Structure 1
Amino acid sequence: MHEPDVSAFEYRRRIIDDDLDSLMPGLAAVSIEGPKAVGKTATALARAHTVYGLDDPGQRETIRADPIRLARGKSPILIDEWQKWVPSWDIVRRAVDNDPTPGRFLLTGSAAPAGIDTHSGAGRIVPLRMRPLSLVERGFTASVSLADLLAGARPTVEGVTPATLDDYVTEVLAGGFPGMRALNERQLRAALDGYLERVIDRDFAEQGLALRRPDTLRAWMRAYAAATATTASFETIRDAATPGVGNKPSVSTTLPWRDILTRLWILDPVSAWLPSHNMLKQLASSDKHHLADPALAARLLRYTPQKLLAGDRADLQVARQGTALGALFESLVALNLRVYAQVAEADVRHLRTHRGEREVDFIVVGPDDGVVAIEVKLSAAVGDDDVKHLAWLKERIGDQLHDAVIVTTGAEAYRRRDGVAVVPAALLGP
C-alpha cells in the first residue's frame, strides 16, 4: 500500500474524467476497463489516496497473506490491475456490501479474466470503459458537440479547422496511446510492435491459452486489421490469413483467439443497430470490425504515410469498397465517437441491410432512443449522392432521427440546405 505522489506527474484531464466526476459521488466502486497503455492508471492515480498495485509481485504476495488489506486505507482506494489477483474483485464487492459509502474504490483492469463472473459485482462495482485518446484529447479544438446533436434541437454547425488529410494520416499512424505520443516515427513503430508482441507472447498465456504457432495468430490479426470497417465473416478473415494453405486453422481454433482479443479489449467491434420497431426490416446483425486503435491496424499491415496516401489496399484478400486509408479514417472516427458518446450516455452502432443496399457507417443512439446517423467520407467535398442513405433513414424513422452528419477531412463545418451537418473529424467533440 502507498499513497500516490501526484506531484510526480502532470496529469492531463481526459473526457472519462467527466464520467468519473458524475459517478464517484454516488457509487462506492468504479472499475476503469480498457486495453493496456490507454491511461487507466494515470487517471485513477489522479484521484486515489491509497494504491495497491497488483501487477507488482511483492504487493500481490502481501495481499495474499492479508487479503482484507485491500479494503483498508484512505479513500478512494485504487486497486490497479485487479485481474492479476482475481479474488480482489470479490473482496471489493463484499466491502461495498458492508459499507456502500460513495467513492471508496477505484479498480483498473486490462483484461477480463476467462471464466470469472464479474457480473457478481453488479450494482456494487460499476464498469467504465476507457479507450485511447480521441482527437480532442490529442489537442484538436472541437466546435460541434455530439451531445448537442443528440439533443435533437438541430444546433448551429460551424467552425474551421487547420487539420488536413496529412494530419489525419499522422493521427491514424500515431495512435492514441498517451505514452507513445512523444515518440519519433522509428520509436513509435518499435513501441507498437512491442505492444502487439506482448499481446501474442504474454497476454494470451495469462488468459490460459498456450499458442503452439504464434505466427498463425499474427497472420490472423493482420487479416482482421485488413478487414477494418467491414463486416467480413470470420471465415473470410481466416482465409485471408492463410491464402493457399490447405490445412487452415479450424473454427474451434480461431474463435478462442477472437474471444481472448476481445477480453483484452484489443478488438473493439461496432455492433449492428437492430431497433425493435418495424419501420426497418431486413437489417444485418454482423459486427463491423475495428481494433482498439487504428494505429494497431496500420502497424499490423505495415502502412506508411506514403502507402496510405497512394491508396494502398494491402495484400490480403478482404473485399472492401474504397482504400485502406478510408477504412482507417473511419476507424479513427469510430474511436472518437465512442469516447464522446460514452460521456453522453449514448451507444455507437452501425446499420446495414442484409444485401448491403443501404448502409450507414454509425448510428449513435442517445439515452432517449433518438439517433444521430453519421456517414464518414474521406474527402472535403460532399455531394447529394453522399447523403442518400441518410435521407432514406429519415424516411423510415422520422423524428427518431435527431440529426444526420457527414464527417469529412475538410476544413469547415456547416449545414447543407437539406439539413445534413457536414463536420470535419477534427471539429467533432463531446
Structure 2
Amino acid sequence: MGYLSRLIDRDLDELLPGLPAIALDGPKGVGKTETSARRAGSVVRLDDPDVALIARPDPTLVIKGPRPVLLDEWQHVPAVWDAVRRAVDAGAGSGSFLLTGSASPAAHGPVHSAAGRIASLRMRPMIVSERSGAASPTVSLSDMIEGRAELGGESQLRLTDYVEEIVASGFPAIRGLPPRARRVQLDGYLTRLFERDLPEATGVTARRPASLRAWLSAYAAATSTTASLEAIRAAATPGAADPPSKVTTLRYRDWLTSMWLLDPVPAWRPPGAPLRRLIAAPKHHVADPALAARLLGVGARDLRDGQGRTILGQGPLLGALFESLCAMSVRVIAQSLDARVSHLRTQRGEREVDLIVEGDGGRVVGIEVKLTATVDAADVKNLHWLRSELGAQVRDLVVLTTGSQAYRRADGVAVVPLALLGP
C-alpha cells in the first residue's frame, strides 16, 4: 500500500517552516517515521545500536546534518532531547529538527520539558476518512465551530463496513494485510509491547507481564466508559487470590500512558461555565480500537453478533468501540484546527455528551455518537440540554452515525456519517 496523506501531513507542512523543532509523539507503528522522513534533510535512527553508541557520549554529533534533522526514536538516547533544546536556545532556525518518539519525555525523568522550544504534536492511527476507499469528507468541523456548517454528501460505508474498520486498525503497515495476518500482527504488537518495548521505553520490566496484560485487557473492556481504576483492577483479576496492588496498577497506567498506548478523553471542566456537578473522570480509550478488540479476543463477526460488553455493562462492546473510533477521528481533526476535545457527564449520569469540541473563544460543538443510521428525539435530548445551558456558546450540535446521508434535522441538529466528517 502506497503512502496515504493524513491530516498530520498538513499540520507539519504548515508548522515546520515557522518552528525550529517539532516532536511527533505516538505509539509504535503509527507512521511517525515515514511521515517525518518525507520532510527530512537527514535521518538519524537512534534505535540503531551503532548510532546510539555514537550519540550517547556527545549527542551534538548527531544533530548537525542537513536540515531538518530527523531524530527518530529519540527516547533511546534521551540526551538528544536536551541537545536539541540547547540548539534552539542558541538560535537554530525554523525547520531545524524533527523528533519522533514512542515514549513521552516524562518517562525519562531528567529530560527537560523544552516548553517553548520543542513543539509537540500527537500522531494517532489513521482515521476513517484517511484510509483508502473511505468516502471523502464533505462536512467541515471548522465550519461547525464557527456556526456556519453546510451539510451534504453521501457515504457508501454501512454498519458492517465500520465494524471492519474497527478491527482493521489504523496502523498503516497492519491495516492492508489479510485478516488473519492482521490478527497475527496485532497479537505480535502486544507481545512485543510487554516483552521488549516496555523495558526499552521506561527502563522497567514488569515482574508479572501476564498481570499487566490482564490489566490492559480490562482497560480495553472499559472503552468509552468512565469506569474507576478500582473497577478496572477488579475486572482484571476476577476471583484472584493475589491481585496486583493499587500502586502496581497505577504504575501500569503510567507506563502505558508514557508509551502512548492509552488515549483517554478528559472530562470537560470549563472555568466560569454555568454547568455544575460535572465529573472529573476521563473516558477510557486504547490508542487504536483494533488493539482493544484483540485484547478482548473479538473479531468482526463477534462484534456484529453482539458478543462482548463493557465492564460497566452499559451496552454491547461494538457501541463502545465505534465511539472510540469516532473519538479518535474527532481528535485528529480537532488537532488540525487547534481545538480541544473532552467529554461531559454529570455526577449522577443523568446528562452526558460523548464529545465536546472547544475552539478559540469558548466556541463549543457538542457531539453524540450513535451506532445507528437513523436518529430520533431521544438521541438528541442531551444535545438540546447542552444548548439550553450554554446558549450561544454552542455553535453546533452533531450526531455521528453509521448512516449514508449528512443532513440537518428540523430541530437544528446535524446528522453526519463518521466517514464524511473532516476539517
Q: Same fold (TM over 0.5)?
A: yes
Counterpart of 2:212 in structure 1 is 217
Is the counterpart of residue 111 in structure 1 residue 103 in structure 2? yes
Structure 1 residues 228, 388: CA separation in 2 closer, same or farther (over 3 Å shift)? same
Counterpart of 2:194 in structure 1 is 200
- Which among 343, 355, 367 is matched to residue 350 of structure 1? 343
What does the per-residue CA deviation read over 1:400-420, in whole Å, with 9 as the maximum and x for residues that have no partner? Answer: 101000011111110000100
**TM-score when normalising by structure 2:** 0.96
Counterpart of 2:53 in structure 1 is 61
- Which among 301, 307, 311 is matched to residue 306 of structure 2? 311
Contact 1:70-1:91 within 8 A present in 2 as well: no
Instruction: Please list every run of 5 or more consecutive structure 1 residues that lacks an aligned counterpart in the other structure.
Output: 1-8
Counterpart of 1:283 in structure 2 is 278
Contact 1:52-1:59 within 8 A present in 2 as well: yes
Counterpart of 2:167 in structure 1 is 173
- Per the TM alignment, residue 343 of structure 1 is displaced from its structure 2 partner at its CA by 0.3
SS in 1 for 2:113: helix
- Which among 370, 377, 384 is matched to residue 377 of structure 1? 370
Equivalent-residue separation in structure 2 for 1:18 and 1:189 (angstroms): 31
- Which among 176, 179, 196 is matched to residue 182 of structure 1? 176
Equivalent-residue separation in structure 2 for 1:119 and 1:397 (angstroms): 40
**TM-score when normalising by structure 1:** 0.95
- Per the TM alignment, residue 247 of structure 1 is displaced from its structure 2 partner at its CA by 2.6
Is the counterpart of residue 78 in structure 1 residue 73 in structure 2? no
Counterparts of residues 22-421 of structure 1 (less than 5 Å): 22-113=14-105, 114-116=107-109, 118-139=111-132, 140=134, 141-153=136-148, 155-206=149-200, 207-314=202-309, 318-421=311-414
- Per the TM alignment, residue 14 of structure 1 is displaced from its structure 2 partner at its CA by 1.6
SS in 1 for 2:150: coil
What does the per-residue CA deviation read over 1:290-317, in whole Å, with 9 as the maximum and x for residues that have no partner? Answer: 0000000001011122211111134x7x
- Per the TM alignment, residue 112 of structure 1 is displaced from its structure 2 partner at its CA by 1.6
Question: Which amino acid counterpart does residue 252 of structure 1 have in structure 2?
Answer: V
- Per the TM alignment, residue 364 of structure 1 is displaced from its structure 2 partner at its CA by 0.6
Question: Which amino acid counterpart does residue 145 of structure 1 have in structure 2?
Answer: S
Equivalent-residue separation in structure 1 for 2:414 and 2:162 (angstroms): 20
- Per the TM alignment, residue 69 of structure 1 is displaced from its structure 2 partner at its CA by 1.7
SS in 2 for 1:106: strand
Question: Which amino acid counterpart does residue 415 of structure 1 have in structure 2?
Answer: R
- Per the TM alignment, residue 99 of structure 1 is displaced from its structure 2 partner at its CA by 2.1
- Per the TM alignment, residue 198 of structure 1 is displaced from its structure 2 partner at its CA by 1.2
Instruction: Please list every run of 5 or more consecutive structure 2 residues that lacks an aligned counterpart in the other structure.
Output: none
Question: Which amino acid counterpart does residue 159 of structure 2 have in structure 1?
Answer: L
Aligned length: 419
SS in 2 for 1:188: helix
- Per the TM alignment, residue 118 of structure 1 is displaced from its structure 2 partner at its CA by 4.9
Equivalent-residue separation in structure 1 for 2:150 and 2:18 (angstroms): 34
What does the per-residue CA deviation read over 1:196-238, in whole Å, with 9 as the maximum and x for residues that have no partner? Answer: 1111111222213222221111111111111100000011011
Equivalent-residue separation in structure 1 for 2:29 and 2:352 (angstroms): 33
Question: Which amino acid counterpart does residue 42 of structure 1 have in structure 2?
Answer: E
Contact 1:97-1:124 within 8 A present in 2 as well: yes
Equivalent-residue separation in structure 2 for 1:239 and 1:65 (angstroms): 46
SS in 2 for 1:422: strand
SS in 2 for 1:339: helix
Equivalent-residue separation in structure 2 for 1:28 and 1:287 (angstroms): 33
Aligned-pair identity in percent equals: 54
Equivalent-residue separation in structure 2 for 1:135 and 1:178 (angstroms): 12
Equivalent-residue separation in structure 2 for 1:10 and 1:305 (angstroms): 25
Counterpart of 1:6 in structure 2 is none
